Amino acid sequence: MSSAGTEAKYLNLEIPRKIALAILFVLLFLLPALSYAGQSGKGGQSYWIKKLSRPDEAVLNASEIRLFNDLTIEGTDGMADLHSMPDIISGQRVVEWIWTDLLVDPLAKYDSLGSPLPDGFLEELSWNMGFEEIPEEVEVRFGVVTGRADVRGLPTDMALLPRPGRGFDMIQYSSLYPAERVALLHTSRDGEWGFFQTGTFRGWIRMDRVAFGEREDVLNDDGGPFVVVTGSKVRVYNERAMETLAGEAAMGRVLYLTAKKSGKSPKSPWTVRFPVRGAQGVLEWKEAYIHQRADVHEGYLPYTRRNIIRQAFKMLGEEYGWGGRDGLRDCSLFIQDVFATVGLKLPRNSRYQGLSGDVLAHLDDYGTREEVALALKHADPGTTLLTLRGHVMLHIGDVKGKPFVIHQIFGYADKKGMKRIGKVAVTGLDLGSRSAIGPMKKRLRGITRVTVPAQYGTGPILDKNA
């Protein structure tokens, strides 16, 4: 009888025991790997937005956003307001830009297949850049990107890797999408590449990705109505029936309307001006169409914490792509695109992003680790960038005193080396705690609020977690 009772008790505990073992397995082996997936249901945007006491309060108004952009462009090497760009630039200045913007690791000596670069490869590239053909005065040509275009550190499509088959392409700077304006400063000897100034950086772009026109035709936006892309990407079609694709536009890009959608049938598509490269590369504008339910917004979104967090979460889970290669995003392009939807212009580089706006603490220029830690405690969710060396993240709130971020992250240091994530993820800052270099929280270099610097007398009212 006693034996039977014991057996019955054991059988009753069989399922709970298996559950306990399963939970233990998760805690010991899976939890570190899943920590970036949104712990305890914290991966959804609504969770973080509900924690804000004033999610819809404007952080900056339109005039303050213009001031922020002017200050950022003026203070960041590589950025430019193309509307203010002169028609003639010193040739010596162009030569300096080509050299100073070349951020190539001297150890990058392998191609994408892992093979050593061919003998004379860099010498041929140098010859093709044609420095001696740059005149004393360079006449600027203005153009519009007509298809997704990579921006490169050298005029070549070949990847330059630091190790055979490993590492990032050191000359992949970024990517551009249709209707983005650019200024041509120099053309390679073979005529296939141009060295361009864009709004946020300089680099080499294939000439066949750009259509050229008169300055007024290229830069003419005349304050007319426009839509800003608020989805990760939207498709643009050649005809109203939307049967053939004209191209794609990424989050934050602006397309000007040829007619207002307001007052039309809800089934009417958005009609936009779209660039086409005609004969001899001449710019032509045509009507193109975006589906009426596409994720676009007429005019910029208001700069609110809700909007920034919502925009960031639209890319949750998207694959990582260094330098925007293959239409993907890295950490700084992710941040840049999110804030572009409210009309803010951020630099392309993560370090410069951490130095744009109201810098609360930063080890590279001033401040101590104690000041960085203090600034983190008062970080404003949805407006604050946290930077590591070579990485940038958006602070979205605290849970029991622990800060959380959303970021496009390649990976993090772990006990056994680099642990790959490779996507947009919500994480705490304890990632890397089992590594020799320590968790992200201990390695933060900067805390920056994306607003007009405090010395200019404006900025957001801080929103603490509810």
| Residues whose CB falls within 8 Å of the CB of residue 401, separated by 6 or more in sequence, listed in order | none
Please classify residue 29 by burial: count the beta carbons closer than 10 Å to its beta carbon, then call 0-12 exposed, 13-18 middle and 19+ buried: exposed
The answer, yes or no, to whether residue 457 has pLDDT greater than 80, is: no
Instruction: Calculate what percentage of the chain has a pLDDT beyond 90.
Output: 73
What are 191's two structure tokens? Answer: 């005529």
The reported pLDDT for the residue numbered 261 is: 57
Q: Select from 273, 276, 269 the least CA-distant residue to 290.
A: 269
What are 336's two structure tokens? Answer: 């840049």
* Predicted model pTM: 0.88
The reported pLDDT for the residue numbered 294 is: 97
pLDDT digits (tens, 9 = 90+) for 76-91: 999 999 999 999 999 9
Neighbours of 17 (CB within 10 A): 11
pLDDT category at 263 given cuts 50, 70, 90 is very low
pLDDT category at 19 given cuts 50, 70, 90 is very low
For residues 135 and 261, the model is more confident at 135
The answer, yes or no, to whether residue 70 has pLDDT greater than 50, is: yes
pLDDT category at 454 given cuts 50, 70, 90 is confident
The reported pLDDT for the residue numbered 142 is: 98
Give me the mean pLDDT over the 356-380 stretch: 91
List 248's β-bridge partners, or say none. Answer: 235
Distance CA 337, CA 253 (A): 8
Which structural domains are found in the chain, ordered by start?
36-56+302-456 (3.90.1720.10), 78-216 (no CATH), 226-298 (no CATH)
The reported pLDDT for the residue numbered 15 is: 41
Neighbours of 101 (CB within 10 A): 17
Which span out of 35-44, 111-120, 121-130, 220-229 was modeled with the highest average pLDDT? Answer: 121-130
Check: CB of residue 415 under 8 Å from CB of residue 324. Answer: no
pLDDT digits (tens, 9 = 90+) for 393-430: 999 999 999 999 999 999 998 888 889 999 999 999 99
pLDDT category at 40 given cuts 50, 70, 90 is very low
What are 41's two structure tokens? Answer: 């249901």
The reported pLDDT for the residue numbered 222 is: 63
Give me the mean pLDDT over the 12-33 stretch: 41
Which of 29-43, 176-190, 396-410, 438-452 is least confident?
A: 29-43
The reported pLDDT for the residue numbered 331 is: 97
Task: Give the rounded distance of the alpha carbon of 238 from its chain centre.
Answer: 28
Give me the mean pLDDT over the 324-338 stretch: 95
The reported pLDDT for the residue numbered 109 is: 83
pLDDT digits (tens, 9 = 90+) for 181-204: 999 999 999 999 999 999 999 999
What are 358's two structure tokens? Answer: 């109201």
The reported pLDDT for the residue numbered 14 is: 44
Task: Give the rounded distance of the alpha carbon of 385 from its chain centre.
Answer: 13
pLDDT category at 163 given cuts 50, 70, 90 is confident
pLDDT category at 35 given cuts 50, 70, 90 is very low
Rounded mean pLDDT of the chain? 87
Distance CA 322, CA 326 (A): 9
* Furthest CA-CA distance within the chain: 104
